[in-house]
Structure 1
Amino acid sequence: EEYNRAFVDDALTGFCAHSAGGWYGERIDWVIVGGESGPNARPMDDEWARSIRDQCVHADVPFFFKQWGGRDRHRGHEEAVLDGQLWKQMPSISILTT
């Protein structure tokens, strides 16, 4: 039986959590990073996103950069660009048929 594992790490608040079903295995399947949005959104440091992206690349884990967040950081299509590239990687999935 396969499980997609989730891990949440909020660098701004120190919040960390993993999937409610427990930890299955030794690796993370997918990392999604995004800054806060909304009227009280705090800015996100570029280095936080780069560090997580670089760790994902090194560990061969799909990396999805959702948004910078913060007010007026970037506009339009550019909001999800990290170092000149859109990072929208997705994990591969297995489809079981009977």
Structure 2
Amino acid sequence: MQLAKQYFQIIGYQLETVNNYHCQQIMIETHYSEIALGRSFYDHMRRFRLAEIELSIIVIGATILLVILVQYYLKCFAFATGAVTIYEILGHPTILTVGV
């Protein structure tokens, strides 16, 4: 109560001039609601940014892992069957088919 009273005095409101206790409570509750809303919004935005960064890291890591696994799998497939030769899968996106 004292903190809110000091705040309203600083910004020009004088709680002493408000004779009705109910009006004082409404002003104080509104002030605390605004503070809570601001903190909630700030926390939400901070969490969203962190989640966005974490998601980006996960997607990049998963993509790199997928490329490595697909490259390894296709190389094993090419050596095992002799049907497909991969020519620098990361450098050239072409897969050459060889008839056996």
TM-score, normalised to structure 2's length? 0.24
Higher strand share: 1
Question: Which structure ranks higher in relative contact order (CA pairs < 8 Å, sequence separation ≥ 6)?
Answer: 1
The structure with the largest helix share of the pair is 2
